[in-house]
Structure 1
Amino acid sequence: MGNRSTADADGLLAGRGPDAVAAAGASAGLAGQGAAALVGGVLLIGAVLAGNSLVCVSVATERALQTPTNSFIVSLAAADLLLALLVLPLFVYSEVQGGAWLLSPRLCDALMAMDVMLCTASIFNLCAISVDRFVAVAVPLRYNRQGGSRRQLLLIGATWLLSAAVAAPVLCGLNDVRGRDPAVCRLEDRDYVVYSSVCSFFLPCPLMLLLYWATFRGLQRWEVARRAKLHGRAPRRPSGPGPPSPTPPAPRLPQDLCVPDCAPPAPGLPRGPCGPDCVPAAPGLPRGPCGPDCTPPAPVLPPDPCASNCAPPDAVRAAALPPQTRRRRRAKITGRERKAMRVLPVVVGAFLLCWTPFFVVHITQALCPACSVPPRLVSAVTWLGYVNSALNPVIYTVFNAEFRNVFRKALRACC
């Protein structure tokens, strides 16, 4: 009897063995994928939270980092932080369940809306940074003088409002369609998928590429002009005996600056040779007709002659600086843009690498319902798009020496 039972058991195993092995293998595979999704999700969320939090804290505490351009970086970091807090945990939960959605459909709609809004805000902030750098290169003087915080705040506010407008239809019930599978969390309306893809990627991406290309060309032209100017005006040392090269003339003030020809003498100062109402002319100022050592007395002026037609005192001081000092100051200003030019290929390359596959697959599913897209491919390109939120702090901070120094101080303080 014992032998018969053993034979029966062997027969059952022989008849049902392949199915049992396949089921066990599938279960083990799902368990392995769920574990990998959990570990990868925790690491990704931690990287996004740590990197972008460090960006926000650095800009808030370091005065040298509180610049107009860094305000866009803080807005970008805020979008990535919200993505890590509101979207990634639920996405990782769904991935751990093998792509199945076990929560309520309303929560799925909220997740989809937040996903669309925050991803769009992240991309729009990248475009805003490209606009800011293009303006800084195209019109640097106007950018430095008139680039107040109001324009940056308006641009950042418009970025978030447009992102909310793109995502609003999902919260208004657009995702409630007939025959909706409650076990799958996705955007159901194909027309909305096309609309959101165009607004979030296929329009901003060419604009960003165009602006970065124009910025790169502008910096190249500036560099060529700067080198030509330096080589053309560089003083040449005489190779043999001969008269020494003439010294450069003293800087002349622009004519529209408010500098009187001659000021009345202050008490205790010596009188000029041409009259009691004149003092010796200062070096570098134009000489008056009354003699080589004095300028004519200034006429009686209103109390504030520089109120409307004259440059501010800062311009007077800047114009009075030697040419070499002015060139050094301009070199410092444009040096920042030269550093940005080195980062541009990294910025554009990382952006395209992370988001292009996602949106191509996304819009292909909407435009071609008959096309079969493997679920693993959809999951892979979605993960790749979210990785961009962890790369943004690396791109916009690690390549910046000022951020790098602040990061080192923060890490030393923590450790």
Structure 2
Amino acid sequence: MNIQTRGEITPAWCAAATAMLLITVTTITGNTAVVTALRRLRRTPAHYPLASLAAADLLVGTFVLPIAVARELFIFQLTSLLDWALCSCWSTLDVLCCTASILSLCALGWERWCCITAPLARAQRIKRAKLYAMLIWPVSTAVALPTAFIPSPKHYLTGEVAKACTVNTNVGYVFFSTTFSFYLPATIMVTFYVRILRLLAVPPTIRAHRGRQNQIIDAESKSPVKTHEFKAKKPRTTEFTTPQKHRLQIPVGSSNDQISSPKKTPNSPGGLVPRQRRATRTIIMLMSLFMACWLPFFVMLPVDSLCECVWDTFWQWCTWLGYANSAINPLVYAAASPSVRRALHASLTSSSSSGTRTVLSPSMRRP
């Protein structure tokens, strides 16, 4: 394999090389730390799709980005079957990891939906989340594998130097892969989160049990809606009703007759509803960043497969904007989840024992 630089070594070439290497190193180190941190966390429904997403990003940084850097900075003369096999593996893994990332986000959307609509079915959600996380990879492989065998036309404009390990721009395969690896999952994901946001916007109903009476109080107006007889010796509880009519009873201290104790009601800062909102905001951040980073690429790719009119510089910007998403995701985990920050700190230092377990926060605990 003969190698030479793509153009002269100028300040612009050095700046591009530095940026690409920084993205690569950040992706590898950040996602390695996240995968290590997730191993320290107690298993929760959100753990499995998060681990799948971090694994996909780690594979991108380890196997996809080094070759992507090389093909952007150097010219390869492919002269052997081994070179072809290497490029085939690279292009397949590239599509596979991107597909696995967005399917993992879909699984996270499903988990958030179930957490809000069926908060008490935690054990069932864990089993399903584990199953869905396992199914992500066979589905992603089925979408990615054809790229190694379907011939791709050249898509370089006059005067541009062809790159080794080209992206497959076969029209039929491009529309197949973009549909199943991006547009269809993205549509499902957005639908999930629109419905979740609508549910969280509805004020929950709080039922307060006081001695012989049970008052249903609206979360906004705090006014009684209905009363009925209640046993005098039964402990007082606050009952939270989800939008899907599932009930969750939380004990209220006997020394205070007021319902809205800031530490004991589901709507208080440490209550159930705020935890759900924080968890949902974290996943929405991941989804929004993924869409912002990858949407330009998935618009450009079908356009270029049809008209071969996209300049190489635009290809480079759109492609590396998508790759940068794998470096950004670990920062979102650390910024949004205190427990992940603690586990990251523990995994990067030797101050904690190897058996330390923390709870993935924010999450639902078994009542």
Asked if TM exceeds 0.5, the reply is yes
What does residue 281 of structure 2 align with? 342
TM-aligned CA deviation for residue 337 of structure 1: 0.9
CA contact (8 A) 1:131 1:211 kept: yes
Quick one: distance in 1 between partners of 2:109 and 2:76?
A: 38
Quick one: distance in 2 between partners of 1:54 and 1:89?
A: 19
What does residue 363 of structure 2 align with? none
Quick one: distance in 2 between partners of 1:397 and 1:179?
A: 40
Q: Which has the higher contact order (CA 8 A, sep 6+)?
A: 2
Quick one: distance in 1 between partners of 2:251 and 2:140?
A: 49
What does residue 223 of structure 2 align with? 232
Q: Which amino acid aligns with 1:175?
A: P
In terms of fraction of residues, the more strand-rich structure is: 2
What does residue 102 of structure 1 align with? 77
Quick one: distance in 1 between partners of 2:190 and 2:152?
A: 36
TM-aligned CA deviation for residue 353 of structure 1: 1.1
What does residue 167 of structure 1 align with? 144
**Residue 146 (1) aligns with residue 146 (2):** no
1:376 to 313, 327, 350: 313
Q: Deviations over 1:295-315 (max 9, x none)?
A: xxxxxxxxxxxxxxxxxxxxx
CA contact (8 A) 1:251 1:322 kept: no
What does residue 278 of structure 1 align with? none
Quick one: distance in 2 between partners of 1:335 and 1:41?
A: 39
What does residue 110 of structure 2 align with? 131
TM-score for both structures, normalised by structure 1: 0.65
What does residue 39 of structure 1 align with? 18
TM-aligned CA deviation for residue 182 of structure 1: 7.9
CA contact (8 A) 1:75 1:125 kept: yes
Gaps of 5+ in 2: 1-5, 157-161, 207-216, 237-247, 352-367
Partner SS, residue 168 of structure 2: coil
Report how many residues are paired.
301
TM-aligned CA deviation for residue 401 of structure 1: 1.5
Q: Which amino acid aligns with 2:146?
A: P
CA contact (8 A) 1:73 1:396 kept: no
TM-score for both structures, normalised by structure 2: 0.72
Q: Deviations over 1:15-50 (max 9, x none)?
A: xxxxxxxxxxx954x544442333222211211112
Quick one: distance in 1 between partners of 2:21 and 2:106?
A: 29
What does residue 329 of structure 2 align with? 392
Q: Deviations over 1:110-136 (max 9, x none)?
A: 211110001111111111111111111
Q: Which amino acid aligns with 1:249?
A: A
Map 1:70-219 to 2 at 5 A: 70-97=47-74, 100-103=75-78, 104-142=83-121, 144-148=122-126, 150-171=127-148, 173-175=149-151, 183=164, 185-219=166-200
Structure 1 pair 137–86 and aligned structure 2 pair: CA distance change class (3 A): same
**Residue 352 (1) aligns with residue 327 (2):** no
Quick one: distance in 2 between partners of 1:410 and 1:183?
A: 38
CA contact (8 A) 2:205 2:219 kept: yes
What does residue 341 of structure 2 align with? 404
TM-aligned CA deviation for residue 352 of structure 1: 1.7
What does residue 211 of structure 2 align with? none
CA contact (8 A) 2:20 2:69 kept: yes
Quick one: distance in 2 between partners of 1:138 and 1:252?
A: 26
CA contact (8 A) 2:36 2:347 kept: no
Quick one: distance in 2 between partners of 1:406 and 1:52?
A: 13
CA contact (8 A) 2:34 2:330 kept: yes
In terms of fraction of residues, the more helix-rich structure is: 1
Structure 1 pair 377–123 and aligned structure 2 pair: CA distance change class (3 A): same
Q: Which amino acid aligns with 2:300?
A: V
Quick one: distance in 2 between partners of 1:54 and 1:393?
A: 8
CA RMSD of aligned residues (A): 3.3
Quick one: distance in 2 between partners of 1:366 and 1:384?
A: 20
> Is the radius of gyration larger for structure 1 or structure 2?
1
Quick one: distance in 1 between partners of 2:272 and 2:98?
A: 33
TM-aligned CA deviation for residue 87 of structure 1: 0.6
Q: Which amino acid aligns with 2:315?
A: V
CA contact (8 A) 1:33 1:96 kept: no
What does residue 304 of structure 2 align with? 365
CA contact (8 A) 1:87 1:115 kept: yes
TM-aligned CA deviation for residue 179 of structure 1: 11
Partner SS, residue 77 of structure 2: coil
Structure 1 pair 176–366 and aligned structure 2 pair: CA distance change class (3 A): closer
CA contact (8 A) 2:293 2:321 kept: yes
CA contact (8 A) 2:109 2:283 kept: no
What does residue 311 of structure 1 align with? none
Q: Deviations over 1:307-349 (max 9, x none)?
A: xxxxxxxxxxx98x74569994856444421212333552333
Q: Which amino acid aligns with 2:170?
A: D
Q: Which amino acid aligns with 1:110?
A: C
Partner SS, residue 249 of structure 1: coil
Map 1:49-60 to 2 at 5 A: 49-60=28-39
Q: Which amino acid aligns with 1:129?
A: L
